[in-house]
Structure 1
Amino acid sequence: MAFQSYTPKPITDIFTNDTDIDRRKCHRTVPMRVLALGLGRTGTASLRTALKELGFTDTYHMMSASVENPPDCLMWQDAFAAKYDGVGTFEREQWDQLLGHCQAVCDWPAVAFAKELIEAYPDAKVILTTRDVDSWHASTMKTVDWRVNDPELRLVAQWDWGAGLYQPMLRRFWDTFFKGDFRRYGKRVFNDYYAEVRSLVPAENLLEYRMGQGWEPLCQALEVPVPKGKKFPHTNDTDGFVDRCKARNRAQMCNIAFRALVMGGGILAAVLSASVTFHRLGSRFTTIRV
């Protein structure tokens, strides 16, 4: 099932390092072992790094779609269409295509499909990262909600390949999951969501985890040894979020400018070539007449 068709990455996109993998042609290559279903801004980026350190490779995260492989957004849009619009189906086969290279998944947009992922991968351990709802809401307002409404991203998405895939998916997820108004409904959705996940997962298969608890509870739940001499990672701090997003916008703007330069140069070359040809033909015609 495919709605929006896949288009290859332009060869002129030299200012970003995105990969260009069409997941609709992929399949599962490693077992899914961990579903980390806590909402974004509860330490999911740190958890991703920690899971990689523990050998769970790869761990899917929103960054997988936003800055690593933008064509993933096509399949996320398929998943949204199936669940929320009743268009087509998105089942284990499709999840294996999208996430088949990963042993773990975390962050959004995956949380919009918590129930579906739990059903698709019943043997996976479930981790629920959480934090105080008020501090979570304040952090998310300054970061992801800002990004969703970033006018610069909207503008860049009209012209850049990667942004054009990511921004519509991000907007769809945000409006769908948070009922079109994160500021108003965010805390309510947070509480309802965590209650739903707790109701779906048997207690013996669920680890509720807060950043700061260190390696021990995580490793115990996942039945892996604690890394010796390594601090638990801390990544994706709020202070650097906006700067990283703006840097991404600038790189994509450079892609757009470079493509315009190359295309403009090609058009100019064509015009000059045509002009020279016309001039030569005109000279020959004059000579013949003389």
Structure 2
Amino acid sequence: MKIICSGFPKTGTKTLACALGALGYNVYDFIENFWYLDKEWNEIFNRGGNVSHFKRMFENVDVVCDLPACFFWEELHEAFPDAKIILAYRESGDEDDWWRSMRNQMMKVDNFLFRLILAATPTGYRMLQFMRNIGRVVFGQLPMSRWGPVTYNETLMRKSFRRHYNHVIQNAPRDKLLIYKASQGWEPLCEFLGHPVPSAPYPHKNVRGDVIEVALQSHPFMREMKFELAVVASLVVVVIGSVSTWAVYKCWHWW
């Protein structure tokens, strides 16, 4: 582990993950943490974890970003004490601005196709449980159910955001911490990491909370879940067709 991105979602984490990937780092964002490590994370959520857990989970990973890893930045740094820490902020640095963006992101999760995938496919249900555990541990609430709408407690989420950022600023080693905004571009990031500045423009991801729509269209993990949904739908059609045929047959013979 070389870099721990300790910023909460909706502070430019998707853009930062993309930028670090462009610099050649192997990045585990939210989706990689779910896809490869959900069993380990669920164990930590429910029973706790120690240095050996984190070392084993991330021994071949350069960077962690977004939830749930950002919330456990301190434990990760204990496991990888040479790692640098990047605390991302929104451009305004304002809690109200963060909350508006976070609320918009949660509403985007109510995308019909995405919710159907979460409710009706095996992998989707795994992701739902993972997201519910994150909500419980990080924000003190369960924001999603299998079929119901997304719910949230604004007070608890704001308090979690405030507490987390204050804790990072007060406790991260000063010589290993970069407080960063995406608008600063490549220069401070590359200087902090000891990289030459790329010629390519600095990326800009998850514009207006569109990460779910983009993932549904292009992410290989999401494509696999969409395939599962197609299989489930096909099975439902076959079962309904079989039952209907049997019912018609019985009715025909009864008459």
Please state how far the C-alpha of 1:134 moved relative to its aligned partner: 1.2
1:65/1:166 contact within 8 Å kept: no
- Specify which of 15, 20, 23 is matched with residue 54 of structure 1: 23
Paired position in structure 2 for 1:72: 37
Aligned to 1:110: 69
Cα deviation per residue 1:210-238 (whole Å; 9 max; x = unaligned)? 110011111111111111x2111111212
Gaps of 5+ in 2: 142-151, 242-255
2:157 is aligned with 1:192: no
Q: CA offsets per residue over residues 133-187 of structure 1, 9 Å max, x none?
A: 11111111111x3366678656533441321211111111113211224422222
Looking at structure 2, the residues matched to 80 and 151 of structure 1 have their Cα atoms a distance apart, in angstroms, of: 28
Q: Which residue of 2 aligns with 1:141?
A: 103
Q: What is the alpha-carbon distance in structure 1 between the residues aligned to residue 201 and residue 119 of structure 2?
A: 42
1:164 corresponds to 2:125: yes
Q: Is the CA contact (8 Å cut-off) linking 1:74 and 1:165 kept in structure 2? A: no
Conserved 8 A contact 1:147-1:245: no
Match of 1:272 in 2: none
TM (normalized to structure 1)? 0.68
* Matched residue type, 1:255: E
TM-score (structure 2 length as normaliser): 0.76
Bigger Cα Rg: 1
Structure 1 residues 189, 239: closer, same or farther in 2, change over 3 A? closer
Offset, 1:98? 2.5
Match of 2:51 in 1: 92
Does residue 258 (structure 1) correspond to residue 231 (structure 2)? The answer is yes
Q: CA deviation at 1:202?
A: 1.9
Q: Distance in 1 between matches of 2:33 and 2:37?
A: 5
Deviation at 1:37, TM superposition (A): 0.5
State the partner residue of 1:235. 205
Is the 8 Å Cα contact of residues 99 and 158 (structure 2) preserved in structure 1? yes
Q: 1:112 to 1:239 in 2, by over 3 A?
A: closer
Unaligned 5+ segments in structure 1 are 1-31, 84-89, 269-290
CA distance in 2, matches of 1:224, 1:155: 43
Higher-helix-fraction structure: 2
